[in-house]
Amino acid sequence: MPAKNLSVNRSALGHRVSYALRHPQRVPRHLVRAGRDAWLRYRYPDHVAYYRAVMRSDTRTSPEAAVGSHSHERWLALGAMQFDYLLGHGLRPEHRMLEIGCGNLRAGWRFISHLEPGHYYGIDISPDILAAAQDTLVRQGLQGRLPTLTPVRDLTLRFLPDAHFDVVHAHSVFSHSPLPVIEECLAHVGRVMAPGGWFDFTFDRTEGMEHQVLREDFYYRTETLIALAEKHGLAARFMADWEELPHGQSKIRVTHREGGRTS
């Protein structure tokens, strides 16, 4: 995977023209997607409703591509990367895990297999991708592990119990979210995290101007997200060891501040 370009503004006209000249074969597909996204934004001004519609459209074409994997081999590799990383950071079978944006269980089926029955809880804003997640469970023969898969309207997590989850995980969720959606999650995730638990999330990192492309891909500075977590009484740190892996996004870990749990 090529090194991350942390200074480019992908929304700038100059970058878009340059990219089109270097990759002319991708222009027709981009124009189709831009037209579709413009129509969906018109129909669904709320970002969560808009992205739910994006996922519905993408899932109909390919559930694996809908979660960002353009081949089955890449789907498997990205799931294994997430699983191996958390395993190396102390994920144990007795832990209770909440996966935000679980998708079609690219990594989730591995977590479900590793954790004790009933200890995996996956949520997603897309009912369509959760139907694909059920298919993954069947293919992997994991029905007996009794995972919970739940569609949600937002990221307030208000229906989940206090201090319940040892590990919370959100891969490639904040990379598709504007700041108000991210803040909604950070404002409430501390309540459901058990003492000593942690919340890992990936994001598209920039060291230049923060920007978005098609309201689908959002690029943030590390300090912006760390400050947002701290605003809500959480401690956050950049995970430098994740940067060594072949993945285009970066990772931050959020924990309770020493001395108490956030409400």
Average pLDDT over all residues of the chain: 93
pLDDT of residue 164: 98
pLDDT of residue 175: 96
More confident residue, 29 or 58: 58
Name the residue among 179, 262, 160 with its Cα closest to residue 227.
Answer: 179
Gap between the Cα atoms of 186 and 233, Å rounded: 9
Which of the four pLDDT bands, split at 50, 70 and 90, describes residue 27? confident
pLDDT of residue 17: 73
Gap between the Cα atoms of 3 and 70, Å rounded: 19
pLDDT of residue 3: 53
| pLDDT at residue 227 is higher than 60 | yes
**Domains of the chain as residue ranges with CATH:** 13-256 (3.40.50.150)
pLDDT of residue 235: 97
Which of the four pLDDT bands, split at 50, 70 and 90, describes residue 26? confident
Gap between the Cα atoms of 97 and 93, Å rounded: 10
pLDDT of residue 15: 77
Task: Write out the E strands in 132-242.
Answer: 148-151, 165-170, 193-205, 211-213, 217-220, 234-238
